[in-house]
Chains A and B, each alone.
Chain A
Amino acid sequence: MILSSRVLGRAGETGPNSRINIGIVGNGLISDGHRGFCLTQKSVQLIALCDVNKQKLDKAMGDAKSKGITCDSYSDSGELCARTDLDAVMVTTPDHWHAAISIDAMRHGKDVFVEKPMTLTIAEGKAMCATAERHGRIVQVGSQQRSNRSFRKAAELVRNGYIGTVHTVVCRLGEFAEPTQFPEEPVPDYLDYDRWLGPVAWEPYNEQRVKGDYGGGWRRFWEFGSRKNGDWGAHHFDIVQWALGMDESGPELFVPKGFDGPNQYHTYSKGPKVIRDGDSKGAMIRFIGDKGEVLVGRDDKFETTPAELKGMILKSSDAHLHDSNDHRADWLNSIKTRKQPICHVGIGHRTGTICLLSGIAQRLGRPVKWDPVAQEIIGDPVATRMMDRPRRAGYALPI
Chain B
Amino acid sequence: MKIFPALLLAAGLAAPAFALDSAALSAVAAKFTNPSGEAQYAARIELNGLIDKATAPETGDSAAVSKLIVLAIQSNDTPLEAKKYLLRALGRIGDGEAVAALIPLLSDANALLKEEARTALESINDPKAAAALEAALAKTQDKRELIALANSLASQKSPSSVSALAPLVINKDPAIAKAALQAIAKIGGAPATETLLKAHASSMVSPALKPDIEMSVLLATPEDAKSTMQIYQISNSETVKSAAFLTLMKTAPADAKPAIIEGALKSPYYNLRHEAIAAGIRAALPSLTASLSQNISQMPLEDRLIVLANIHTLKPTDAAEKIALSQIASADETERIAAISALGQIPTKASFAALLQAVGAREPWANQAASAAIATVKFPDAEATLLTMLKGASSPDKILALKAIVTRPLPEIGMVLINIITGSDEAAAKEAMKSFYFTASLDDLRALCAEATSTADADKKKSLNSIASRIATRINTEEAAALAKSLQ
Contacts and interface: CB of A to CB of B under 8 A. Distances in A.
A133 B301 CA distance: 24
A312 B40 contact: no
Interface in B13-68: 13-15, 37-38, 40-41, 44, 48-49, 52-53, 55-58, 62
- Interface of chain B, helix or strand or loop or mixed? helix
A109 B246 contact: no
Nearest to B44: A181
A329 B442 CA distance: 37
Contact of A393 (B115, B270, B407): B115
B383 to A, nearest CB: 8
A390 B301 contact: no
A378 B4 contact: yes
B123 interface: yes
B382 interface: yes
A134 B246 contact: yes
Interface residues of B, number: 99
A214 to B, nearest CB: 22
B119 A390 contact: yes
A79 interface: no
A365 B115 CA distance: 28
Contacts of A380: 5, 56-57
A62 B12 CA distance: 59
Given A6-B270, A378-B2, A394-B144, A308 B123 contact: no
Interface in A132-147: 133-136
Interface in B428-481: 438-439, 441-442, 474-477, 480
B147 A399 contact: no
Interface in B371-407: 372, 375-377, 382-383, 406-407
Contacts of A259: 13
Given A11-B298, A381-B62, A316 B123 contact: no
A300 interface: no
A179 B45 CA distance: 10
Contacts of A365: 15, 49, 52-53
Contacts of A313: 406-407, 409, 438-439
A369 B6 CA distance: 12
Interface in A362-399: 363-367, 369, 371, 378-382, 385-386, 388, 390-394, 396, 398-399
Interface centre among A5, A323, A367, A393 (most CB of B within 10 A): A393
Interface in B305-330: 305-306, 308-309
Contacts of A282: none
A245 interface: no
B247 interface: yes
B91 interface: yes
Contacts of A367: 8, 13-14
Interface in A281-331: 306-308, 310-316, 320, 323
Contacts of B442: 308
B126 to A, nearest CB: 12
Interface stretch (B158-166, B195-203, B214-222, B416-424): B214-222
B477 A390 contact: no
Contact of B182 (A5, A133, A316, A398): A398
Given A379-B4, A386-B92, A109 B298 contact: no
Chain A contact residues: helix, strand, loop or mixed: loop
Given A108-B239, A201-B88, A315 B409 contact: yes
A390 B300 contact: no
B332 interface: yes
A393 B474 contact: no
B179 interface: yes
Contacts of A18: 301-302
B361 interface: no
B334 interface: yes
Interface string A108-141: 1100000000000000000000000111100000
A10 B303 CA distance: 11
Contacts of B100: none
Given A181-B38, A316-B382, A337 B338 contact: yes
Interface in A168-214: 179-183, 201-202
A308 B475 contact: yes
Contact of A336 (B58, B62, B185, B305): B305
A364 B442 CA distance: 52
Contact of B151 (A8, A135, A378, A391): A391
B271 A136 contact: yes
Contact of B372 (A255, A310, A323, A337): A323
Contacts of A55: none
A315 B383 CA distance: 11
Interface centre among A5, A10, A135, A202 (most CB of B within 10 A): A135
Given A333-B334, A378-B4, A107 B239 contact: yes
B238 interface: yes
A314 B375 contact: yes
Contacts of B475: 307-308, 311
B258 to A, nearest CB: 19
Contacts of B301: 9, 12-15, 18
A260 interface: yes
B334 A133 contact: no
B218 A134 contact: yes
21 contacts: A9-B301, A12-B300, A201-B119, A260-B12, A307-B476, A310-B476, A316-B408, A336-B334, A338-B305, A338-B306, A365-B49, A366-B14, A371-B1, A379-B57, A381-B57, A385-B92, A388-B123, A392-B115, A394-B148, A399-B215, A399-B219
Given A11-B298, A136-B242, 11 more contacts: A9-B302, A11-B300, A109-B238, A308-B442, A308-B477, A366-B15, A379-B5, A379-B58, A390-B155, A393-B148, A394-B144
Interface of A: 5-6, 8-15, 18, 107-109, 133-136, 179-183, 201-202, 255, 259-260, 306-308, 310-316, 320, 323, 333, 336-339, 363-367, 369, 371, 378-382, 385-386, 388, 390-394, 396, 398-399
Top-10 shortest CB links A-B: A393-B148, A390-B119, A181-B41, A6-B270, A181-B37, A396-B151, A337-B309, A379-B4, A9-B300, A109-B239
